[in-house]
Amino acid sequence: MKKIILLYWGLGGNVERTANMIYNMFDPETIDISDVVSFDVNNLSKYELMILGHSTIGAEDWQEAKADNEWNAFFRRLEGVGKTNIIAASFGLGDQVLYPDHFVDSLGIYKDEMDKMNIPIIGSWPTEGYKYTDSDGEKDGKFFGLALDVDNEPELSQERMLKWTSEIKEKLKF
Ligand SMILES: Cc1cc2nc3c(=O)[nH]c(=O)nc-3n(C[C@H](O)[C@H](O)[C@H](O)COP(=O)(O)O)c2cc1C
């Protein structure tokens, strides 16, 4: 059986903590976890689904090919692999209170990158229950992946993660 690979960045903060929580919601036989820098994209063929975990810390920083922009570097390595059968899902962390005009924009950047490579995505998530004014991570009432605000809504985040992971398991027939 093919497995899930959960890839995340950055290290030592909310994203890494959340990635570990999501990892623990799956049977360990069905999922591996790695930070995105340590992962060798040549191993992608072992996996059916990649879950990408990230946060929004200024959209420009995310997209620019800066030496410290590990997502950009990962997407370029992924392009280099060429056609794969992988599908993708993603969770994005943000802060609705401090950044209501750019809430979880990283979910939109991820969606654009997957579209460029024709990688299908699953795991969209309803926008109901969130309070923000604008987001590149959303279209027609759906986020392109799971939106989490662990700064302001840690209890809701736990529930959201449980529901989202159970929907993913159902889709993959795990
Ligand atoms: C400099 C900075 C910029 C941020 N910009 C945004 C933003 O544009 N949109 C958003 O939703 N959250 C934004 N955030 C909130 C983070 O995404 C959120 O706190 C996240 O949980 C951080 O994860 P980390 O601890 O792994 O870095 C920003 C945080 C920082 C420190």
pLDDT tens by residue, the chain, 174 residues: 789 999 999 899 999 999 999 999 999 999 999 999 999 999 999 999 999 999 998 645 555 544 458 999 999 999 999 889 999 999 999 999 999 999 999 999 999 999 999 999 999 999 999 999 999 999 999 999 999 999 999 999 999 999 999 999 999 988
Q: Could you write out the DSSP letters of every residue in 12-57?
A: SSHHHHHHHHHHTTS-GGGEEEEETTT--GGGGGGEEEEEEEEE-S
* Ligand 1 pocket, mutate which of 17, 52, 56 (most atoms under 8 A from CB): 56
Total residue length of the chain = 174
Answer whether 35 contacts ligand 1 (Cβ < 6 A). no
User: Which of 35, 54, 57 best tests ligand 1's pocket when mutated (most atoms within 8 Å of CB)?
Assistant: 57
Identity of residue 32? D
Q: How far apart are CA 56 and CA 172, in angstroms?
A: 28
Helix %, strand %, coil % of the chain (to 5):
40, 20, 40
Count of other CB atoms within 10 angstroms of residue 12: 7
| Domain interval for residue 140 | 3-172
Indicate the top mutation candidate among 95, 106, 132, 148 to test ligand 1's pocket, ranked by most ligand atoms within 8 A of CB: 95
150 ligand 1 Cβ < 6 A:
yes
Q: Residue 57 maps to which CATH number?
A: 3.40.50.360
The answer, yes or no, to whether any atom of ligand 1 lies below 6 A from the CB of 109, is: no
CB 8 less than 6 A from any atom of ligand 1? no
Q: End-to-end alpha-carbon separation of the chain, Å?
A: 10
Pairing outcome for strands 138-139 and 125-126: unpaired
Total tally of structural domains belonging to the chain:
1
Q: Hunting for tokens 């759906």 — which residue is that?
A: 142
CB distance 117 to ligand 1 below 6 Å:
no
17-42 pLDDT, tens digit per residue, is 999 999 999 999 999 999 999 999 99
- Write b or e for each residue in 114-146: b if 16 or more Cβ atoms lie within 10 A of its Cβ, otherwise e: beeeebebebbbebeebebeebbbbeeeebbbb
147 lines ligand 1 (CB under 6 A): no
